[in-house]
Chain A
C-alpha cells in the first residue's frame, strides 16, 4: 500500500490523515518504541521518524534540542532503522517515513541505506536538504527497493518546480505551510487553502501539510484542504516534558480536529 493509499483509506473513513513526527532516540531509542505504539493508538496514519543530526538547519529550537538529546544518548541512522525493523517485528503496522538530513545517508551510502530501509519496513524517505533537482541518485536507489521518496514543496516554490517535484516525488508531497524552520506557531499561513489547491493541481500528488501545527483548531482548518496533517514540535515538546502520557494527550488533541 502506498502512502497516498493509506491517507485515502483514512479519508474514506471520514477524517483527514494524521501524521505525527518524532525525533527518534529522544530521550532513548527504547522510549521511542513506546512512543510509536502510543501514536498508533492515538490515530496515527503515517509516522514520521526524525533521524537526529548534529546540524539541523531546517529545524527550530524544539527539534534542535531533541536532536541533541538523541545524539547524546547514542542514536545513529542505522540504530533508527533497526528500531523500525524491531517495531515491525512487534506488530507495528503504521507506515513510517524516515525524515533525515542528507549527510548521515551519504555517509552510510545511498544503496546501503535504501536496502536497509526496505529490510526494516520503512515506507518512505524524506531527506530535508535534498531538493528535487539533486534527488535522482537517492530516488533511483529507493525505487529499486520499493521505498517512496517524499519531496517537499513550500510557499515560495515556483510552478515549474512544483511540476518537477510532482514528477519526482513518490505518492505524496510534503507541503511546508510556512517559510522558516519547524516549530509551533499560532495561526495558519494566509491564503493557505488556495495555495494548497494549486500545489495539488501542479504536483498531482496527495499532500501532507506541516510546519507549525500544534492545536486542534489549526488541524481542523487544515483538514479540509490536506490529505494528511503533520504535527512535530508540539508532540516532541510534549514527550520531552511529560513522556508517553503527555505525548498521547497532545496527539489526541490534534487528531481530534481532523474529522471532516
Chain B
C-alpha cells in the first residue's frame, strides 16, 4: 500500500522548509532503528503497562445499549494515564528522544491533552518540556494549562492567526527548525511531515490491537462497526489499525461538524475540503479557492484543525473507511447522555463519535456490536461546557 516511503497512496509526504529536512531524516532513521531493537520495544511495552496503565478496559455500555438496541462497547482510552490516548504516543516519542540524546521536548496542543501527556512523559524521563498552545485554546481548556505547568512544562501562548491548534503547530515547527540539535518535536497526531503520520500511527496502534482482542473475548466475534472521532486522526488510526484486515468490519471516522457544514463554521475536511498541503503533509484540507487555509470551528479544541491525517485520506480513497461528521450540539447532547446513563464523562472530542452512533442507531443493525473509541475524558471540558449546563 505504501509505494513511496512516507506516502499513503497519493497522500502524505514531507513538504517542509529545507531547515527541517535533515532533522526529519534523522528522526526517520532513529525511529526505524529503535523499532528494530527489541530492547526499545520491551521498554515501551513496560512503560505502557506500568506508567500508562495499559491495557485500558473495554466497557460494555449496558444502559445505553438497551436504549439503542445495540451492543455498544467503549474502548476506555479515557482511563489511560493523563486521561486520553495521547500518552501512548508521547511515551513512545519521549523514549525515542532519549535514545537520540535529546534533552528537550516541544509539542503543540489543542485540547491540552497532548500537551499534558508530553509534559508527563518529559517529567518521567527527565527531559525539559515546552508546549505551544493557542490563546483561544488556553481559554477554553484552562484546567489543562495548569496541569502542564504543574508537570513542569513551560506553556507558550500563541496569539497568531486563529489562536488554535493550527497556529500552535506552526509555531512548534518554527521553533524546532532552530533547535533540532538538542530538541525533539513530539507531534501529537497522525499528521505532519514524514515520519510523523507513520510513527504516531504505530504508537497508537496499541489501541486497536487491544480492542480487537477484547471484543473477541467479550463477544466471540468482531464488531459490526468501529467508530472514532477524527481531528488529526491519531485515536482513529490507532483503533482502526487493529481492524484494517478484517474487511467485514466497517470503520467510521467522525469529524467536527461545528455549527453545520452550511454555516462554514466546522472542521469537516472530507465534507468541505479538498487535497492540499499544510504542515508538511498532502491531505484533505479546508481551504479557500486561492489555496489559503480556512478558519475552522468546533466546540472541541482537539478537533478544531483544518487538515486530516494523510492515512485517513487514503483509507477514504480506498473505500476502507468512511467519514461523517457530528455537530457541536449533537456532541454535547451525546456527552450528557453518556454521563447520565453510564457514569462516564467523555471528552467533547470523543462525544462526536458517540453522537454519530446515537444519530444512526436506526441504520445500525439491531443487536449489532458497535465499538466506540472513547479517546479521552471530559474533565478538561468543564469551562467549555458551562454554557450548556
On A, residues with C-beta under 8 Å from B are: 53-60, 64, 68, 71, 76-78, 101-108, 128-131, 133-134, 151-158, 161, 176, 178-181
Give the tally of cross-chain contacts (CB within 8 A): 114
Please judge, given known A-B contacts A55-B166, A77-B290, whether A128 and B17 are in contact too, CB under 8 Å: yes
Chain A CB within 8 A of B173 CB? yes
Chain A CB within 8 A of B59 CB? no
> In the complex, what distance in Å separates the CA atom of A81 from the CA atom of B75?
52
> In the complex, what distance in Å separates the CA atom of A154 from the CA atom of B17?
9
Identify B18's interface contact among A57, A60, A78, A157, CB under 8 A.
A157
**B177–A180 CB distance below 8 A:** yes
* B147-187 near A? 1/0 per residue, CB < 8 Å: 00000000000001100001100100111011110000000
User: Which of B13, B18, B174, B280 counts the most chain A CB atoms within 10 A?
Assistant: B18
**B293–A54 CB distance below 8 A:** yes
Contact-residue size bin, chain B (C-beta under 8 Å from the other chain): 35 or more
Identify A180's interface contact among B21, B178, B292, CB under 8 A.
B178
User: Which of B276, B277, B287 counts the most chain A CB atoms within 10 A?
Assistant: B277
Identify A153's interface contact among B18, B166, B179, CB under 8 A.
B18
User: Which of chain B's residues 7-36 have a Cβ closer than 8 Å to chain A?
Assistant: 13-19, 21-23, 25
**A103–B170 CB distance below 8 A:** no
Least CB distance from A64 to B in Å reads: 6
Least CB distance from A113 to B in Å reads: 10
Please judge, given known A-B contacts A129-B280, A131-B16, whether A103 and B21 are in contact too, CB under 8 Å: no
Residues on B with C-beta less than 8 A from A58 are 17, 19, 174, 177
> In the complex, what distance in Å separates the CA atom of A34 from the CA atom of B75?
61
**A107–B17 CB distance below 8 A:** no
Specify the main secondary structure of chain B where it touches its partner: mixed
**A54–B19 CB distance below 8 A:** no
> In the complex, what distance in Å separates the CA atom of A101 from the CA atom of B292?
10
> In the complex, what distance in Å separates the CA atom of A252 from the CA atom of B203?
54
Least CB distance from B276 to A in Å reads: 5
Identify A156's interface contact among B23, B278, B285, CB under 8 A.
B23
> In the complex, what distance in Å separates the CA atom of A158 from the CA atom of B25?
10
**B177–A179 CB distance below 8 A:** yes
Chain A CB within 8 A of B279 CB? yes
Residues on A with C-beta less than 8 A from B174 are 57-60, 180-181
**B290–A129 CB distance below 8 A:** no
Q: Nearest 6 A-B pairs (CB), nearest first?
A: A107-B291, A180-B178, A104-B291, A152-B18, A156-B22, A58-B17
> In the complex, what distance in Å separates the CA atom of A151 from the CA atom of B21?
13
Chain A CB within 8 A of B42 CB? no
- Other CB < 8 Å A-B pairs besides A134-B13, A176-B17, 9 of them? A57-B17, A57-B173, A57-B279, A58-B17, A76-B290, A76-B292, A101-B277, A106-B276, A158-B22
**B161–A54 CB distance below 8 A:** yes
Please judge, given known A-B contacts A131-B16, A176-B19, whether A57 and B170 are in contact too, CB under 8 Å: yes
* B260-289 near A? 1/0 per residue, CB < 8 Å: 000000000000000111111000010101
Residues on B with C-beta less than 8 A from A161 are 21-22
Residues on A with C-beta less than 8 A from B177 are 58, 179-181
> In the complex, what distance in Å separates the CA atom of A180 from the CA atom of B174?
6
> In the complex, what distance in Å separates the CA atom of A104 from the CA atom of B293?
9
A-B contact pairs, 10 of them (CB 8 A): A64-B160, A71-B292, A103-B287, A106-B291, A130-B15, A131-B15, A156-B22, A179-B19, A181-B174, A181-B177
User: Which of A54, A104, A107, A129 counts the most chain B CB atoms within 10 A?
Assistant: A54
Please judge, given known A-B contacts A55-B279, A103-B293, whether A134 and B173 are in contact too, CB under 8 Å: no
> In the complex, what distance in Å separates the CA atom of A206 from the CA atom of B289?
36
Least CB distance from A111 to B in Å reads: 15
**A179–B293 CB distance below 8 A:** no
Residues on A with C-beta less than 8 A from B293 are 54-55, 103
Residues on B with C-beta less than 8 A from A181 are 174, 177-178
Residues on A with C-beta less than 8 A from B275 are 106
**A133–B18 CB distance below 8 A:** no
> In the complex, what distance in Å separates the CA atom of A130 from the CA atom of B275?
16
* B173-205 near A? 1/0 per residue, CB < 8 Å: 111011110000000000000000000000000
> In the complex, what distance in Å separates the CA atom of A76 from the CA atom of B21?
28
